[in-house]
Amino acid sequence: MKVYNCPNEAEIKEIVKRPAFDISELNAKVSVILNDVKLNADDALRRYGREFDKCDLVDLSVSQDEFDTADASVSSELKDAISLAVSTIEKFHDSQREKERVIETASGVFCWRRSVPIERIGIYVPAGTAPLFSTVLMLAIPARIAGCREVVLCSPPDKNGKIGDAILYAARVCGVTNVFKVGGAQAIAAMAFGTESLPKVFKIFGPGNQYVTSAKQLVAQTGTAIDLPAGPSEVAILADETCVPAFVAADLLSQAEHGVDSQCLLVATDTSIADEVFAAIERQLAVLARKDIAQAALENSSVVIEPDLSKAIALINQYAPEHLIIAVREADAVANHISNAGSVFLGNYSTESAGDYASGTNHTLPTNGYARNYSGVSLDSFVKKITFQKLTDQGLRTLGPAIEIMAAAEGLDAHKNAVSIRLEALT
């Protein structure tokens, strides 16, 4: 890890900078896949399945039998753990429902807004080394609470044409039964355009590799909404002498094991804290299954020593981390000064792992500095908020003359006339 001691402005710029990639070549490759799926639909999906997933599928959808088999295969202890996570995620996202309130903005003028579910949404769940069933929970639970009428889930099958048991179990628990064995950019295309097997959806959620990310960004330009622009996962940890260095080390490592491009930033108020964290990392790293990945990620990461807490906070806000762990004495007071972050963890017991799985907050969060201008996924992500207004005759009398004046000032005659003709009818 690169250490900065009381970094100056130029160094801070370097610290907060994210790696930039030229994606034009990737986009060109992915565009070919998108067009192929648009044109050839299921045929293209089956062909890509043979090519990339090494399996030859007749039926792209997961059968009732496969769900049953998955159910029987998942251990009861994992089922109980998932059940606990479902309950916390439900509680927190359910609390995000917005009550409809009618506001009388002027005499006789009533305005309100209503959260209406996006009718059809798609969820992408990557496979790879492990089944990321937590993604299913984080996306399918709020979709259910929002009331989305149709939820489609795509995930790449293994070479036997199967999707991981835990993913299928989690999907069924969350009420998602429309699951397809399709992965990669072709899955995003299928959900965006629809095929014989897959219904077209209006918004696509979920993480994925660079092909999936590129496909999401490309379909977003042609009418399909997406959850968030995606980048490598990140954590920033702010630690003072009240932190437990072994905990800080464990949290840095848990971020680092995601991938070699993971970003970790430790901001410590004293060199001795950083030294203790380094020592703890050494000890913990040795026994990790994914230690090579974690080590590589840490090599690209930064440590800042900044005794001035307000400067440390300013640096973190400038960095705008996806995850922020505040392991300092006055964690709550510091939290009040955080203006850019995806999700924040307060105190020594609030490990990022809690938010990744079970505290109830969503783990789909803005990376790559997007915490400056984007929120993480929440119930809001699954609804549109439609505004309504109703003017009584009194309401039109209240606003009408002002609207006529403003429309005329903007040179919009017919806008004015739509009011005048009504006011005349009232006299």
- Of 105, 271, 272, 310, the residue at the interface with a copy of itself (CB under 8 A) is 105
Of 3-11, 33-41, 178-186, 281-289: span binding a copy of itself (CB under 8 A): 281-289
Is there binding between residue 111 and a copy of itself (CB under 8 A)? yes
92: tokens are 């927190």
Residue 104, φ and ψ in degrees, nearest 5: -85, 100
Does the protein bind a copy of itself through residue 279 (CB under 8 A)? no
Residue type, 139: L
User: Judged by CB under 8 A, which of 203, 211, 236, 240 binds a copy of itself?
Assistant: 203
Amino acid identity, residue 248? Answer: V
By CB under 8 A, tell whether 122 contacts a copy of itself. no
For residue 411, is it left (φ>0), alpha (ψ between -120 and 50) or beta? left
Residue ranges with strand state E in 181-233: 203-205, 225-226
The one among 57, 288, 296, 314 contacting a copy of itself by CB under 8 A: 288
Nearest to 176 by CA among 150, 145, 147: 150
Let me know if 323 is a catalytic residue.
yes
Interface with a copy of itself, residue 401, by CB under 8 A: yes
Strands 109-117 and 383-391, bridge-based pairing? antiparallel
Q: What does residue 103 show for φ and ψ, rounded to 5 degrees? A: -110, 125
Identity of the amino acid at 380: D
- Name the one range near a copy of itself by CB under 8 A: 54-62, 184-192, 244-252, 266-274: 244-252
379-398: which residues touch a copy of itself (CB under 8 A)?
A: 380, 383-393, 395-396
Q: Is 420 exposed, middle or buried (0-12, 13-18, 19+ CB in 10 A)?
A: middle
Distance of closest approach, residue 178 Cβ to a copy of itself, in angstroms:
18
* Alpha-helical segments (H) within 225-325: 245-256, 271-285, 291-299, 309-319
Half-sphere exposure of 296 (CA within 13 A, CB side): 10
Q: Which two tokens stand for residue 73?
A: 């295969």
The token pair at 352 is 């990022």
CB nearer to a copy of itself: give 162 or 415: 415
Q: Which of residues 302-341 bind a copy of itself (CB under 8 A)?
A: 331-332, 335, 338-341
Cβ–Cβ under 8 Å, residues 130 and 156: no
Q: Which is nearer to a copy of itself, 307 or 401 (CB)?
A: 401
What are the φ and ψ backbone dihedral angles of 305, each rounded to 5 degrees?
-100, 115
Binds a copy of itself by CB under 8 A, chosen from 129, 160, 179, 295:
129
Strand partners, 330: none
Q: Candidates 37-45, 65-73, 283-291, 304-312 — which segment interacts with a copy of itself by CB under 8 A?
A: 283-291
- By CB under 8 A, tell whether 69 contacts a copy of itself: no
| Count of positions on this chain that bind a copy of itself (CB under 8 A) | 130
Query: Minimum distance from CB of 387 to a copy of itself (Å)?
Result: 4
Q: Considering only the stretches 61-69, 180-188, 269-277, 288-296, report the one whose residues sit in contact with a copy of itself under the rule CB under 8 A.
A: 288-296
- Our finding on whether 31 is near a copy of itself (CB under 8 A) is no
How far, in Å, CA of 280 to CA of 191, rounded? 45
Taking the complex as a whole, the smallest distance from the CB of residue 3 to a copy of itself amounts, in Å, to 22
Site for a copy of itself in 219-238 (CB under 8 A): 221, 223-225, 229
Q: Which of 276, 322, 352, 363 is catalytic?
A: 322
Per annotation, catalytic residue among 323, 404, 410, 415: 323
Residue 206: closest CA among 238, 173, 240, 167: 167
410 catalytic, yes or no? no
Q: Rule CB under 8 A: is residue 155 a binding residue for a copy of itself?
A: no
Contact call for residue 205 and a copy of itself (CB under 8 A): no
Binding segment for a copy of itself among 2-10, 113-121, 181-189, 305-313 (CB under 8 A)? 113-121
Q: Identify residues 162-201 at the interface with a copy of itself (CB under 8 A).
A: 166
Rounded Cα distance between 310 and 337, Å, is 9
Burial 124-142 (b: 16+ CB within 10 A, else e): bbbbeeebbbbbbbbbbbb
300 near a copy of itself, judged by CB under 8 A: no
Q: Are the CB atoms for 355 and 88 separated by under 8 Å?
A: no
User: What residue type is 34 in one-letter code?
Assistant: L
Out of 122, 134, 302, 319, the residue judged to bind a copy of itself by CB under 8 A: 134
The residue (of 89 and 305) whose beta carbon lies closer to a copy of itself is 89
| Shorter beta-carbon distance to a copy of itself: residue 4 or 374 | 374
- Does residue 312 contact residue 253 with C-beta atoms inside 8 Å? no
Q: What are the catalytic residues?
A: 322-323
